[in-house]
Amino acid sequence: MSRVVEASRAPALERAHRPFAWGRLREFVEREAVFSWLMFTPPVLFLLAFLGYPFFYGVYLSFFRREVAGPATFVGLGNFVKLADDPIFWQSIGNTIKFTAAATVLKALGGLGMALVMNQNFRMKALTRAMLLLPFIVPTVLSTVAWQWIFDPGLGLFNRLLVVSGLTKTGVSWLGTPTMAMISIIIVNTWRGLPFFGISILAGLQTIPVELHESATIDGAGSWGRFRYVTLPSLLPVIFIVTTFSIIFTFFDFQLVYVLTGGGPANSTHLMATYAYSLSMGAGQMGLGSAVALSMVPVLGLLLVLLTFYVRKA
């Protein structure tokens, strides 16, 4: 009996005493099923830890009356019902939609123009391209502080230009009226987001085969015709994806409004992100603030679904 047992254990013992087999490990790792999981797991864990946890905690909080350092009381949809009666909440939704729509359209048009210009050959092209990326590179808080000075009523660049050029006798109150404050934050967001569009569309432009333009020219198309029937259709997938991403980024914008206006005057620039922040971190109403933040999810979720469908189709 014992001999039989000994014999059955022999291969296992042999394997255990064999030197570590790097080759076998490599073979194991290089299996497609294993390798893909190895690559997939770290980002998933990262996303779960830094995006998933806060997101689900936010969802959890939105169903509770929960104040800083206080106990949580389940209120179901109570926070959302409360928000439905809150005029600032509705105002912040309106502001966010206006802000996102205007800034995205301006960035898309400006970015397209920027890309078309950058696609031409001219001296110092590389340097100019690098310079155009600056708004994207500079930290938002830093550039927004600079914009505070640019919008200054007396010493600001814009008002100096307006007064010195004789266009107006006195400067414009850039941050002092609800309309101008909204226009000002749209200007800053557009300035900051333009390079993202410009560089992405430029990359798209450079993938369009020259032959298409040559064929169109032979067929008698002018500059506008080539742009309308060759360039624009070829760029549409890029423009669609960049625009979708930009809508998401703009919808979530927080820093520039927080630094420039704090959501004022009279809540005219309060976006959903700044309102959620002021409720949670300022007023300490974590549940209510989470409910505001969560209200953004359906819109963004819809965009994400659209984007996914489009990418799959493409």
Partner 1 sequence: MAQPIPSEPSRRDFLKLAAGAAGAAGVVGAPWVARKVQAKPTTIVFARESSYVKNFDEHFQKVMIPAYQKATGIKIDYQIQAAGGSAVPQLVSMVENKSGADLAWVQQEWLYRDALVDVSDIAEAVGKEQGGWYEEIKALSVDNGKWKSVPQANIGQCMVYRKDWFEEAGIKSFPETWDEFLEAGIKLKAKGHPYGMSMGHGFADNYSWLYPLLWSYGVTVMDKTGKKVALDTNETAKAVDYVRKLYKEACIEDCVGWLDPHNNKAFLTSQISCTNNAYSIMVSAKRDLPEMGKVVDHALNPKGPNGQRYHSLVPVTHGVFAYGPDPQAAKDFLRWIMDPKQYRPWISSGDMYFAPYLHAFDKFPDWDIEPRVKPYQKVLETGKLTSWPAPANRAHGAVINRWVVIDMFSKACTGAPTKTVIAEAVGQLKQIYGVA
CA distances from 187 to 108, 175, 181, 302 (A): 13, 12, 10, 26
CB of 221 to partner 1, least distance (A): 50
Q: Please tell me whether residue 82 binds partner 1 under the rule CB under 8 A.
A: yes
198-215 core/surface letters (b: 16 or more CB in 10 A; e: else) = bbbbbebbeeeeeeebee
Q: Which residues contact 221 (CB under 8 A, 6 or more apart)?
A: 229, 230
The helices-and-strands tally (H runs, E runs) of the chain is 18, 2
- Only one of the segments 97-105, 116-124, 147-155, 302-310 lies at the binding site for partner 1 (rule: CB under 8 A); that segment is 147-155
Q: Please tell me whether residue 140 binds partner 1 under the rule CB under 8 A.
A: no
Among 181, 199, 230, 247, indicate the residue that binds partner 1 (CB under 8 A). Answer: 181
Closer to partner 1 by CB, 173 or 234: give it.
Answer: 173
Beta bridge partners of 66: 72
- Only one of the segments 44-52, 226-234, 246-254, 255-263 lies at the binding site for partner 1 (rule: CB under 8 A); that segment is 255-263
CA distance 286 to 139: 28
Q: Which of residues 35-74 bind partner 1 (CB under 8 A)?
A: 67-70
CB of 35 to partner 1, least distance (A): 37
CB of 55 to partner 1, least distance (A): 17
138 CB-side CA count, 13 A = 21
CA nearest to 92, candidates 254, 303, 243, 283: 254
CA nearest to 249, candidates 304, 204, 311: 304
CB of 181 to partner 1, least distance (A): 6
Q: Is the dihedral of CA 257, 259, 262, 264 positive or negative?
A: negative
Among 55, 78, 80, 88, indicate the residue that binds partner 1 (CB under 8 A). Answer: 88
Q: Please tell me whether residue 237 binds partner 1 under the rule CB under 8 A.
A: no
- Only one of the segments 25-33, 129-137, 264-272, 296-304 lies at the binding site for partner 1 (rule: CB under 8 A); that segment is 264-272
- Residues in touch with partner 1 (CB under 8 A): 67-70, 82, 85-88, 148, 152-155, 173-178, 181, 261-268, 277-286
